[in-house]
Amino acid sequence: MNVRATTAETASSPAADDVRSEVGALVARAREAQRAFEHAGQTALDTAAAAAAWAIMEPGRNRRLAELAVRDTGLGNVEDKVQKNFRKTLGLLRDLHGKPTCGVIARDAERGIVEIARAVGVVAAVTPSTNPAATPANKIVNALKCGNAVIVSPSPKGYTSCALLVEFIHQQFDKAGLDRALVQLLPAPVSKAASAELMARADLVVATGSQANVRMAYASGTPAFGVGAGNVASIVERSAVLDDAARKIALSKTFDNATSCSSENSVVIEDAIYDAMLGALQRCGGVLLDAAQKARLQAAMWRDGKLSEHCTAKPAARIAQTAGLDEIAAREPAFLMVEESGFGVEHPFSGEKLAPVLALYRASDFEAAANIVRELYAYMGAGHSVGLHTAHLDYAVQLGERLPVARVIVNQAHCLATGGNFNNGLPFSLSMGCGTWGRNNFSGNLDYRYYLNVTRVAYPIEERVPEVDTLLGEYFRSVGR
């Protein structure tokens, strides 16, 4: 489906005309503001990015946004959202600090190349309900740093939080003398038609959230970056420090009630340490369900093959109550665990759960563990990431060479590490590309460089034509001419 065609070329109706007019007016204001802004110089761009960042980082505003997000979406918990809003934005500022994003940004005298950073224009930012403040803030800061304007299309549940964020950004813009039209929001209620119209009119789409939104972005006719489905697995290899691995997995699984696509959904444990690792996870608050309890949990979590909103991103005790497992809820679990051996739609625990529920797989050795992860990702989550807990660090490179993943996270709390952290070198982002494995056109963390065009000036240099034997000599020696 070509959304550009469906929004611009289908027969008119009063409702469709209203959507086109309303979205068109937003984009026109954004374009006017952006054309002046992109040539205002690096200081202006840096000021705008800082204003948007401080809008969410300031403690009072941060807490208001976190409380509103949990109240209106019913997803996650306030304290973790406060931490996420602050740390993810602080890390982004660290990544952006001192980076040139306008004018000449590089000169290579030997190659005669000069690189000039150019804005992309108006960015359509599609954002999810799971992080209704942190994700739009990340996209807005990146876009502004590169001289762009942004119009956000938030999820309906996350609309109020996103609207308050934009209000806070506008307040900071007023102090800095910046045009409010640089950051705008689709009016409520956000419809699919309005979001599609925005995507079609923008210069770039950055989409995070449901796969339906990502597919719409790719079909919009506008250049787009979208992310793949999450279903992260972590391997615990026999040389791992088990208590450390369990603590990090528990932190990742429970943070913000597992709203992150980077929270482990499965842990694959080598047989030699399976019982010991299970004990370590139990000491971290995990409660293992028996077969009957697992069946009741499955019935509660999936209705007609779809995750139930009554369990998504809820505390483990509440999920247990929803499943009628009052005896489990009374134990106040930090997270629930089920043993699994299968993959696919007939084994829903092998997929993404968006809840503090963990599937445990037993593997005979490291090779078997890697194969289990491959099976999991053949069902869901290809391209995203894999976790590894081990003392043999070279095993991580083996996974990176063999599994369909864009990131291998070694001995870290996965959901805190995958999107960048202060103890690893990945860029801070809440949008992780999954490469062609996940039907994406990029495999990195979506950082500021994806919000830029680069113009290259090529000057003449001394001609250097290589000899054929220099380039093909090895081939000739091994194969012949």
User: pLDDT tens-digit profile of 140-150?
Assistant: 999 999 999 99
In a domain, 79, yes or no: yes
How many Å apart are CA 457 and CA 39, to the nearest integer? 19
User: If we measure between CA atoms, which residue out of 143, 306, 126, 85 comes closest to residue 209?
Assistant: 126
Q: In 3-state terms, what secondary structure has residue 457?
A: strand
- Predicted pLDDT at 9: 41
- Predicted pLDDT at 5: 42
Q: What average pLDDT does this structure show over 258-271? A: 96
- Predicted pLDDT at 10: 43
Instruction: Answer yes or no: are the C-beta atoms of 357 and 319 closer than 8 Å.
Output: yes
- Predicted pLDDT at 12: 60
User: pLDDT tens-digit profile of 57-100?
Assistant: 999 999 999 999 999 999 999 999 999 999 999 999 999 999 99
Neighbours of 78 (CB within 10 A): 16
Instruction: Answer yes or no: are the C-beta atoms of 432 and 268 closer than 8 Å.
Output: no
Q: Are residues 297 and 381 in the same domain?
A: yes
The token duo for 247 is 């603590």
Residues annotated as part of the active site: 261
Q: Are residues 397 and 338 in the same domain?
A: yes
Q: Are residues 197 and 311 in the same domain?
A: no
Task: Specify the CATH number for the domain of residue 399.
Answer: 3.40.309.10
Q: Are residues 308 and 451 in the same domain?
A: no
* Angle at CA of residue 421, ends 416 and 426, nearest 5°: 110
| Helix, strand, coil percentages in the chain from 3-state DSSP, rounded to 5 | 50, 20, 35
Q: Are residues 257 and 307 in the same domain?
A: yes
Between 211 and 290, residue with greater pLDDT = 290
- For residue 367, the Cα-to-chain-centroid distance in whole angstroms is 29
In a domain, 364, yes or no: yes
Q: Give the β-pairing of 335-339 and 204-207.
A: unpaired
pLDDT confidence of 313, banded at 50, 70, 90?
very high
The residues, ordered by sequence, that sit 6+ positions from 433 with a Cβ below 8 Å of its Cβ are 225, 227, 228, 383, 406, 440, 441, 442, 443, 444, 445, 446
Q: Are residues 377 and 306 in the same domain?
A: yes
Instruction: Answer yes or no: are the C-beta atoms of 333 and 373 closer than 8 Å.
Output: no
User: pLDDT tens-digit profile of 200-244?
Assistant: 999 999 999 888 889 999 999 999 999 988 999 999 999 999 999
pLDDT confidence of 279, banded at 50, 70, 90?
very high
Q: In 3-state terms, what secondary structure has residue 354?
A: coil
Q: In 74-133, which residue ranges form alpha helices assigned H by DSSP?
A: 78-96
In a domain, 463, yes or no: no
Q: Provide the domain limits for residue 392.
A: 233-429
> Where are the extended beta strands (E) located within 364-401?
383-389
The token duo for 336 is 């629930």
pLDDT confidence of 2, banded at 50, 70, 90?
very low
β-pair partners for 226: 207
In a domain, 311, yes or no: yes
With a threshold of 0.75, does the pTM exceed it? Answer: yes
- Predicted pLDDT at 401: 98
Q: Are residues 346 and 244 in the same domain?
A: yes
User: pLDDT tens-digit profile of 243-259?
Assistant: 999 999 999 999 999 99
How many Å apart are CA 365 and CA 231, to the nearest integer? 22
Q: Are residues 344 and 284 in the same domain?
A: yes
Per-chain mean pLDDT for the chain: 95
In a domain, 423, yes or no: yes
> Where are the extended beta strands (E) located within 285-415?
286-288, 302-303, 306-307, 335-339, 357-363, 383-389, 405-410
- Predicted pLDDT at 6: 44
In a domain, 475, yes or no: no
In a domain, 270, yes or no: yes
Q: Are residues 364 and 318 in the same domain?
A: yes
Q: Are residues 186 and 277 in the same domain?
A: no
> CA torsion sign, 283 to 281 to 431 to 92?
positive
Q: What average pLDDT does this structure show over 24-41? A: 97
Q: How many domains does the chain have?
A: 2
- Helices then strands, counting H and E runs in the chain, come out as 18, 17
Position 172 pLDDT exceeds 70: yes
In a domain, 18, yes or no: yes
* Angle at CA of residue 62, ends 59 and 66, nearest 5°: 140
In order of 173, 224, 336, 395, 481, the CA distances from 330 in angstroms are 49, 47, 13, 40, 77
How many Å apart are CA 351 and CA 51, to the nearest integer? 39
Q: Are residues 96 and 160 in the same domain?
A: yes
pLDDT confidence of 337, banded at 50, 70, 90?
very high
Q: What average pLDDT does this structure show over 326-333? A: 97
User: pLDDT tens-digit profile of 409-442?
Assistant: 999 999 999 999 999 999 999 999 999 999 999 9
**Torsions phi, psi for 124 (to 5 deg):** -95, 115
Q: Are residues 205 and 247 in the same domain?
A: no
